[in-house]
Amino acid sequence: MMLNSMRTQDVLPTNLQDPLEILRWAGRGFPQGLVLASALGPQSIVALDLAVKAGLDLDVVLLDTGLLFDETLELATRLETRLGVSIQRLKPALTLDEQAEALGEDLWETDPAQCCEIRKVKPLANRLADASAWITGLRRTGSLVRAEVESVEWDAVHGLVKINPLAWWPRARVFEHLHSHNLPYNPLLDDGYASVGCRPCTSRVRPGEDERAGRWRGRGKTECGIHHRLAAAQPQEEAAQ
């Protein structure tokens, strides 16, 4: 049975906390059309590794904004070799030159929200239109904004079930998994960066800062918008047949 008729939190297995158990549930419920989308942060790499171990049939997409660090692009190639997967580079409709001509130079400085909308939010929304459900690396301890993330939840923005297998893992456990399984990760994480996104909007963090403090520093935001949560009531479950 496909599970996108299960649209309310009371029918989704939000009580699950073990990542492999969550991913196996996803594989049973969504045998086709699963998408794992990320910028190849450490938690997404762990989620991908576990998804491969769980035998999931899924597509992996990297939100390639045209502004990623070289280290991130090189990491994608390394992960393809290490995990035996193919990572689709999901690009925006506008090149950087086209964006500058239409909206001005350095849009990430003048209107970072619009820049994220063009280069990340819209491309992902278009890709998820063909998905049955999607997987992320979101964790509750990633930031205050993410503190209420559930292991499995209804994504009203995209009209899909959203699966967050590492929702209950702390950052330390993510890195423990990376190291113990000899998984490649972004070397910038060993150079003062706690979260890596686009070059113009990513900076090193200072001791004691939130792990996303280096994202869009001074721009009044810490999220790109792809994980926006609607406050409106969710649609009711259709009768299961």
Of 115, 116, 201, 224, which one is the catalytic site residue?
Answer: 224
Positive or negative, the CA dihedral 206, 210, 212, 217 is negative
Is the pLDDT confidence value at 230 over 90?
no
Chain segment 43-65, per-residue pLDDT in tens? 999 999 999 999 999 999 999 99
Q: Which residue has the higher pLDDT, 241 or 86?
A: 86
Looking at residue 5, what is its pLDDT? 47
The H-or-E segment that residue 127 falls in is helix 122-128
Which superfamily is assigned to 19-190 in CATH? HUPs (3.40.50.620)
3-class SS at 155?
Answer: strand
β-pairing, 133-135 with 152-155?
Answer: unpaired
The residue ranking higher by pLDDT, 117 or 7, is 117
d(CA 187, CA 129): 33
Are 20 and 50 in contact by the 8 Å Cβ rule? The answer is yes
Residue in the block written with tokens 């059309």 = 33
Q: What is the mean pLDDT of residues 134-140?
A: 91
Which helix (H) or strand (E) segment is 36 a member of? strand 34-38
* CA–CA gap between residue 147 and residue 164 (Å, rounded): 12
Is 116 an annotated catalytic residue? no
pTM for the whole structure: 0.86
The residue behind tokens 């939100």 is 63
Listed by start position, the domains of the chain span: 19-190
What is the length of the chain?
A: 241
